Structure 1
């Protein structure tokens, strides 16, 4: 062994140990709870304002990249299908499993709601609610897919319209073939640039976590949880059953792989989704962990962006089912089999309305309007929404990584060796196509 090689191998031991990203986020979570409690209990005005601003800035930075990221991710993902064998079959299988898992999730939500009666004994009344400023209806949903111009969807952050334009552009590029290659090369470069910039924002997640959690405690405190205790527990239990019950069962029985390895590989994306509350903001990490779980890159680059805008087991299945039952009980409205079937229908067909952004108000209003329930019920849930949105988004993102693994395994294109070793290396930069750790660079050069 040469002297230079010895020096290189000895160097890492002298460095300050790197704190894992998950540990940084946990530290931010604990710090946010502590600072929020201090700010609220001691009425520290400057600390309250600081937490609110830090949390708000972090979310705003995530949203800043959403519009262009969604457009170029969907465009590139559709054109990448030309590199995949049986692309149409893979796309159909992906959509089918999106629907199957959504149906299971909404069934769990309805069952939990019927067993626990979350709206009973809360002390809340119809007078406590207020109609939302914006709402969703089937007419709005269907007509709102097609934009009136190409600028407004980006300025108003209408993700559904952005997805529509990107899909049209992607299909047109496929039809043009080689003539569209310059545009595709430019789009791929812009997408990599956006992912790099978004990764810088993601690295701020520990600080953003402290601000967001602290902001929630400052604004709502712990007293609020009392009135919503059953409903909050229902949402967390429902998401946990899907996340740690249904998903592992599907992995073991359908994909025939070790569920524990899935969570080891997908955990960076799941934990980031929990604190950021944005499926789209987490998308670069979700795509990277999906690839490291052995899903072919060309297929993952289609399935993950598609899922980040349409696959919402937490926000579009479990939550609206429980919320509809909760609101119906507050307003003393009886729901029957027909209404529960409508909830399932809306969850499967209308999930794209959530659009991968923080919150699920549009999906909830779409569900309530379909059932004929008072939209004032949405106001009852707005205060508690940030606390619920964390587990909902984590469930969304886990499902977005799960389905490509299942489809790849069924189609026999899953790299089982990569899957079994998915947790061997951390996610340092989703925009990079190679490892960035110095130790790995040494091994590659040896």
Structure 2
């Protein structure tokens, strides 16, 4: 008995979510077969209870997301350690991360607008139920980044002012030197505490997915499967474009190296990231791979750990896809201005996406809320998130190495002989 209990306790979360997903599909299909909303018993008693299960999950996520972003972004700024690093390697690193994230979110938007994963089923009469928030002009957008009152921004969940204030707070603590170290430790501990809360909330994801999926199936039947499959295809096409096109162009034109030589050596951390869905698991492998690519430890030891937290290219294209997906499911047309603002928000939110499971799913709920979009679309994604998260994590991890090589080349520090040597590092591994 004890052995069976231990096995149940060790069941991976993504397996539990799959079980919740399929259980929701079965229960929802039965309810739909029994008449769905046309059945008074189902409409008045069963559907409200299932909706309650989903609402607990969604409200719990919304509860913690503001303090999570505040402390994690501040902690990410503190991870730079020394403002002097920003003058050379640090500035290049941050610009690469932000630029890559913005480009990734743009790719997700473009691919989603072409494939239209949310077309084919309309989840409710949205034009009356939901009104997307109008976004301000460029000058007002920049002004809105500066909070009138950071505490009010925290209370109201205005994420962009919160992020800007978090970054400024982190940099100011760095400037305090030794005096700021106790405060930095407190923020680091609070950031870890927020992720512990997220881990607790994530444990109820299977029940939330069960409730939300049951309701969706009861209302709309098997018609929802078309958009889900199209969502997976859209997400993976975005990953392929980011990896094969964007990363290759960065290596060719910025690092001025052969992308094929890069991938021959970088395939191992890519596979580890893809199979584990954990950037933290791929990080040690990436740090062993960097010297084989001709990158010095000084650069790789700074860029790669920071990238595991702040460089979320894979997560960012997912942000673009999920917002378009949700808007199309509800028949909402997002303007170009709104989509541009999405890119800006996704770029800065990615700074706080630490390497923890399901974090992309959590942050995407924030984006949907900020844009005034319904959260129910996350039910369709949560159950298959493990499938797409493999591509997200692999894209994130590969982007860290690509950035490391590019910065090394710009710093004039890249050993091109080692980079082009197919046997570089093999002797070291053999004797290790």
Q: 1:152: which partner in 2?
A: none
Residue 12 of structure 2, aligned match among 34, 46, 55 = 55
Whether the aligned pair in 1 keeps the contact of 2:163 and 2:348 (CA below 8 Å) is: no
Output the TM-score relative to the length of structure 1.
0.59
Alpha-carbon offset, residue 273 of structure 1: 0.7
Q: 2:366: which partner in 1?
A: 366
3-state SS, counterpart of residue 119 of structure 2:
coil
Q: What is the 5 A alignment of 1:93-132?
A: 93-121=92-120, 123=121, 125=123
Q: 2:88: which partner in 1?
A: 89
Residue 435 of structure 1, aligned match among 404, 409, 428 = 428
Give the distance between the partners of 1:251 and 1:289, measured in 2 at CA: 16
Whether the aligned pair in 2 keeps the contact of 1:279 and 1:308 (CA below 8 Å) is: yes
3-state SS, counterpart of residue 263 of structure 1:
helix
Q: What is the 5 A alignment of 1:27-46?
A: none
Q: 2:403: which partner in 1?
A: 403
1:78 aligns with 2:85: no
- Taking structure 1 as reference, are residues 115 and 140 closer, same or farther at Cα in structure 2, changes over 3 Å only? closer
Q: 1:390: which partner in 2?
A: 390
Q: 1:19: which partner in 2?
A: none
Q: 2:413: which partner in 1?
A: 413
Query: What are the superposed Cα offsets for residues 346-392 of structure 1, whole Å, 9 maximum, x if unpaired?
Result: 12211123212222123212221222111222223111111110001
Whether the aligned pair in 1 keeps the contact of 2:118 and 2:231 (CA below 8 Å) is: yes
Query: What are the superposed Cα offsets for residues 166-207 of structure 1, whole Å, 9 maximum, x if unpaired?
Result: x8887666899xxx9xx9xxx9xxxxxxxxxxxxxxxxxxxx
Query: What are the superposed Cα offsets for residues 112-138 of structure 1, whole Å, 9 maximum, x if unpaired?
Result: 1111111011x46259xxxxxxxx985
Q: 1:444: which partner in 2?
A: none
Aligned residues: 307
Whether the aligned pair in 1 keeps the contact of 2:117 and 2:325 (CA below 8 Å) is: yes
Q: What is the 5 A alignment of 1:298-377?
A: 298-316=298-316, 318-359=317-358, 360-377=360-377
Give the distance between the partners of 1:89 and 1:240, measured in 2 at CA: 31
Give the distance between the partners of 1:137 and 1:394, measured in 2 at CA: 34
Instruction: Answer 1 or 2: which has greater helix percent.
Output: 2
Give the distance between the partners of 2:339 and 2:421, measured in 1 at CA: 42
Q: CA RMSD in A?
A: 4.2
- Taking structure 1 as reference, are residues 57 and 104 closer, same or farther at Cα in structure 2, changes over 3 Å only? closer
Give the distance between the partners of 2:79 and 2:371, measured in 1 at CA: 38
- Taking structure 1 as reference, are residues 256 and 436 closer, same or farther at Cα in structure 2, changes over 3 Å only? closer
- Taking structure 1 as reference, are residues 71 and 302 closer, same or farther at Cα in structure 2, changes over 3 Å only? farther
Output the TM-score relative to the length of structure 2.
0.60
- Taking structure 1 as reference, are residues 346 and 138 closer, same or farther at Cα in structure 2, changes over 3 Å only? farther
Give the distance between the partners of 2:388 and 2:350, measured in 1 at CA: 17
Give the distance between the partners of 2:411 and 2:380, measured in 1 at CA: 45
Ranges in structure 1 where 5+ consecutive residues have no aligned partner: 1-45, 60-69, 128-135, 147-159, 188-219, 427-433, 442-446
Alpha-carbon offset, residue 56 of structure 1: 4.8
